[in-house]
């Protein structure tokens, strides 16, 4: 359930494409829209551990099920394209763990 202080929506974790950092808050992007939630990306990362989500960098947590393409970027990391077309970089520090997670 996603709540923004006044409205709540029941969203399946499988429908969440990615979480994006917005300062102390996070924006949740899902099939059909997005919603700002009053939780930090660090908080979400600790709660989503082991649930098909991956911390790509300081700005994004991605749903592995919504990855359409994976390619290399210039800084020895990865550039991914989500099913919605959003391009997100996997940081160089997270690249090895990403490789292991996807068995690349």
Q: Which CATH class is domain 2-102?
A: mainly beta
Determine which helix (DSSP H) or strand (DSSP E) holds 46, and give its type and residue range: helix 41-48
Q: What is the pTM of this model?
A: 0.87
Condensed to tens digits (0 to 9), the pLDDT of residues 1-27 reads 566 566 677 778 889 999 999 989 999
How many angstroms separate the CA atoms of 86 and 51, rounded? Answer: 21
39 Cβ neighbours under 8 A, 6+ residues apart: 25, 26
pLDDT (tens, 9 = 90+) of the chain, 104 residues, equals 566 566 677 778 889 999 999 989 999 999 888 988 888 999 999 998 777 999 999 999 999 999 999 998 877 789 999 999 999 999 989 999 999 988 86
As a whole number of angstroms, the distance between CA 33 and CA 47 comes to 22
Which residue ranges make up each domain of the chain?
A: 2-102
């Amino acid at each position: 359930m996603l709540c923004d202080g006044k409205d709540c929506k029941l969203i399946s974790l499988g429908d969440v494409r990615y979480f994006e950092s917005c300062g102390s808050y996070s924006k949740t992007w899902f099939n059909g829209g997005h919603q700002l939630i009053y939780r930090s990306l660090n908080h979400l990362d600790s709660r989503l551990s082991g649930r098909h989500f991956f911390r790509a960098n300081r700005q994004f947590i991605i749903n592995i099920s919504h990855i359409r393409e994976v390619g290399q970027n210039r800084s020895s990391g990865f550039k991914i394209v989500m099913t919605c077309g959003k391009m997100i970089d996997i940081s160089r520090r997270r690249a090895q763990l990403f490789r292991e997670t996807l068995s690349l």
